[in-house]
């Protein structure tokens, strides 16, 4: 039986420290991790090689996370990629907006590590069954 390769997650955050912490956490969960530091870089990365899932910050210069999410969900090639928002925003309006635009989950930083791990595992499991 062939070994199952780990899922690839694109981690997007403009803050270097937050991005390093996110990469460390995702790597610890056993995923292959690619990174992007802005919305346009994230879109380029997805276009070149679609990841299995995107973890996306909201507040970034240029294209913010909401705009990136909207563009991903509007494209037939990328609309099915699960997107998890991980942001400092904690207001209900931001949460509702993200979910309305198609985010699979919305976590406020600092997020509970176990909750994030469970959400990612469940979303990736669903994606592989589709």
User: Is beta strand 105-108 parallel, antiparallel or unpaired with respect to 83-87?
Assistant: parallel
Number of domains in the chain: 1
Does 1 reside within a domain? no
The answer to whether position 38 is within a domain reads yes
Q: Is residue 71 part of a domain?
A: yes
CATH number at residue 103: 3.40.50.2300
Query: Percentage helix, strand, coil, to 5, in the chain?
Result: 45, 20, 35
- Quick one: pLDDT at residue 127? 67
Q: What is the pTM of this model?
A: 0.93
| Pairing state between β 83-87 and 32-36 | unpaired
Structural domain span for residue 100: 8-129
Q: From first to last of the 130 residues of the chain, give the pLDDT tens digit.
A: 444 679 999 999 999 999 999 999 999 999 999 999 999 999 999 999 999 999 999 999 999 999 999 999 999 999 999 999 999 999 999 999 999 999 999 999 989 999 999 999 999 998 654 4
13 φ, ψ (degrees, to nearest 5): -160, 135
The per-residue pLDDT for 129 is 44
């Amino acid at each position: 039986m062939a070994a199952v390769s780990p899922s690839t997650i694109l981690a997007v955050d403009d803050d270097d420290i937050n991005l390093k912490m996110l990469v460390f956490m995702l790597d610890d969960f056993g995923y292959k991790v690619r990174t992007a530091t802005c919305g346009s870089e994230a879109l380029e990365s997805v276009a070149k090689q679609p990841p299995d899932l995107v973890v996306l910050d909201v507040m970034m210069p240029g294209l913010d996370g909401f705009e990136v999410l909207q563009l991903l969900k509007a494209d037939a090639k990328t609309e099915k990629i699960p997107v998890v928002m991980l942001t400092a925003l904690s207001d209900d309006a931001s949460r509702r907006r993200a979910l309305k635009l198609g985010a699979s989950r919305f976590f406020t930083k600092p997020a509970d590590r176990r909750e994030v791990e469970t959400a990612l595992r469940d979303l990736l499991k669903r994606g592989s069954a589709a």
